A and B are shown apart, each in its own frame.
Chain A
Amino acid sequence: MLGYTIKRLLQMVLVLFVVSIIVFLMMSFTGDPVFMVIPIDSTQAEIEQARRLLGLDQSLFSQYWIFLSNLLQGDFGRSYVFRQPAMDLILERLPATMEMVLVAMAFATLIAIPLGVYAGANPNRTASRGIMAASLFGISLPGFWVGMMLIYFFSVRHPFLPSSGRGETIEILGLRLSIFTADGWSHILLPAVTLALATLAIILRITRAGMMEVMRQDYIRFARAKGASRTHILFAHGLKNALIPVVTIFGLQLGDLIAFATITETIFAWPGTGKLLIDSIYRGDRPVIVVYLMLTAFIFVVINFLVDIVYTVIDPRITVK
């Protein structure tokens, strides 16, 4: 187990290294950042000077070397627009994004798992078919459009929920959070629902598929024969064994939610990292884009690692290689 964990950790480092190369190469295609930092009326000599300061006069390889060694020393560069360290900008907005993603994930899981268990245990009932059709519909929804329609109905037509911002926040453990105030909840409701829909549908479908597979097994028949209650069979025998694919998809979906949060945050003017990313793309603020990508890559790698570890806990039959 220890050997496996170490091997996975090394893999994580390797993946992050590859990602850093790709991010660096891609970013060097996005035009000349020197024009982001100099005044419009600079002379040729000033342009050259700025170029030297940014290290742009050196070869691609030594530029990468500088980039990597700066990253490893915790120097992530300064935003061209805000003139602040890019990492600080992102960390400041990270709680807002995480809050929205986790609330969306909670909505999705709490609704999807019971429905998935029901649809998987009674595949031929009309209600189950309805649930499945609805979930397919959920996958087909363009998330940004759903958000806009929610804004139209709940903020424009019948204005009882706010359409933008985070509302009142309180500081807890140094993080500014809005889920502990009523005003915060009224702000988070629409974005979280928008973000949750697709994930809800996917988790539901995976849970149902897993349940259908499990309910065929002999141990379920045995549990019935021994007289266990129906809820006990469904959740303790059925769901527990159907959880493996659900956990995988849970990890992947968490990543997807972070990615799609960029869209939801743009629609609801939610002051999180996703909106910062989109704004930075518009402004050509390269350091912020780079830090965002490296940080999300890091988060994804950690999520994947945790998912692999959780497997062995849920299902002792899975032995690590």
Chain B
Amino acid sequence: MQRLLSSEFVHNYRHNIPAVLGSLLVLAFACLAIFGPLLVWQDPYDVSQLELMDSFKPPVWLDGGDPHYLLGTDGQGRDVLASIIYGARISAFIGIAAMACSCVIGTTLGLISGYYGGMLDAVIMRVADIQLSFPSMLIALFLMSAFGNGIGMILIALTAVGWVVYARTVRGSTLSEIQKEYIQAARVAGLSDTEIIRRHVLPNVLTPLIVVSTIQVGSFILIEASLSFLGVGVPITEPSLGLLVKEGFDVLFSGIWWTSAFPGLFIMFLVFGINLFGDFLRDELNPRLR
């Protein structure tokens, strides 16, 4: 622990204001999502706790604001802050779970591709090339329109667009790792291919993935929000932040801005925090870019 604290990495981190700021933002949002339900008095999806009389109350600092509802209420009398907290849990879950699925599948394919080469490699990489020439947003939109709404479907769609970057990165590092002597030594020692991949190649290709996964969580949260905004994302019963913004859009023209402005701000600062931290990691873990 002492060694970790005095390492160059930690030193650079402590002197990098944006990185500290970014991780604090992420930490704050994570705490809000995890412990938030304990802080707000209303469960926005328990109908018995909703007061229709309290619909469209503005935020507390405006005329007509109610101290019960810090950020105002929506058309069903739901506390906007409470909806955001519950929505953030769904958004964050989708972002992280989809990243984990992409990472596992992409890394496996990348290892196979780089280690064995040949036809398998050619096929995997061509598929990746074709996929990279299309915007991930459009692929995800298309998959969602074919499969229909639902959190499971979003995870599949995001994984389908997300695996490529892992496969390519891992394949590249694998190709350069297997040239090295320790791999040959392991071969001579009689280890099977699977053992070599698992125990020797895998640990050595993981570092660049830290950066990729960090940034990907942010972009997945944005893609999910956009899909839900378009109405092909999460179902109404499990509203993520994007769906909250969409619901707010319908009343925006009557001047009710708080039901859409705050969920959007939340997405923005969450993703900004992730990106700030990811940017720092990229500079630290990828010495070539310094």
Contact = CB atoms under 8 A, between A and B. Distances in A.
A126 interface: no
Interface in B5-27: 18
Interface string B247-290: 01100110101001100100111011011100100000000010
Contact of B135 (A152, A259, A293): A259
Contacts of B230: 262-263, 266, 278
Contacts of A252: 135
Max count, chain B CB within 10 A of own CB: residue among A258, A281, A289: A281
B135 A144 contact: no
Contacts of B261: 149, 152
B133 A300 contact: yes
Given A27-B146, A263-B226, A289-B145, A148 B133 contact: no
Contacts of B272: 136-137, 140
Interface string A267-304: 10000000000100110000001000100110011001
A260 B226 CA distance: 9
30 contacts: A15-B130, A26-B146, A27-B146, A29-B146, A29-B147, A136-B275, A140-B222, A140-B272, A142-B225, A142-B242, A143-B226, A145-B267, A148-B245, A148-B248, A148-B260, A148-B264, A151-B253, A152-B252, A156-B253, A156-B257, A157-B255, A255-B134, A256-B137, A258-B138, A260-B137, A263-B226, A282-B231, A293-B142, A297-B134, A300-B134
A139 B275 contact: yes
B85 interface: no
Contacts of A306: none
Contacts of B225: 142, 144-145
- Can you list the 3 inter-chain pairs with the closest CB atoms, starting with the nearest? A145-B264, A259-B138, A259-B135
A141 interface: yes
A207 B27 CA distance: 32
Contacts of A10: none
Nearest to B231: A282
Interface string A245-258: 00000001001101
Contacts of A281: 145, 232
A142 B252 contact: no
Max count, chain A CB within 10 A of own CB: residue among B18, B130, B145, B242: B145
Interface string B215-230: 0001000100110011
Contacts of A304: 133
Interface of B: 18, 130, 133-135, 137-138, 141-143, 145-147, 218, 222, 225-226, 229-232, 242, 245, 248-249, 252-253, 255, 257, 260-261, 264, 267-269, 271-272, 274-276, 279, 289
A42 interface: no
A18 interface: yes
Given A260-B137, A262-B230, A148 B275 contact: no
A133 to B, nearest CB: 7
Interface in A110-148: 133, 136-137, 139-145, 148
Contacts of A144: 225-226, 229, 242, 245
Interface string A23-43: 100110110000000000000
B142 A152 contact: no
A140 B268 contact: yes
A140 B218 contact: yes
Interface of A: 15, 18-19, 23, 26-27, 29-30, 133, 136-137, 139-145, 148-149, 151-152, 156-157, 163, 209, 252, 255-256, 258-260, 262-263, 266-267, 278, 281-282, 289, 293, 296-297, 300-301, 304
A249 B230 CA distance: 26
A301 B138 contact: no
Nearest to A15: B130
A136 B268 contact: no
B137 A259 contact: yes
Contacts of A19: 130
Given A263-B229, A282-B231, A136 B138 contact: no
A256 B134 CA distance: 8
B133 A156 contact: no
B224 to A, nearest CB: 10
Contacts of A133: 18
Contacts of A140: 218, 222, 268-269, 271-272, 274-275
Given A142-B222, A149-B261, A301-B133, A136 B276 contact: yes
Given A23-B142, A293-B142, 17 more contacts: A15-B130, A137-B272, A140-B222, A140-B275, A142-B222, A142-B242, A142-B271, A145-B267, A148-B252, A149-B257, A156-B253, A255-B134, A255-B135, A258-B138, A259-B138, A260-B137, A262-B230
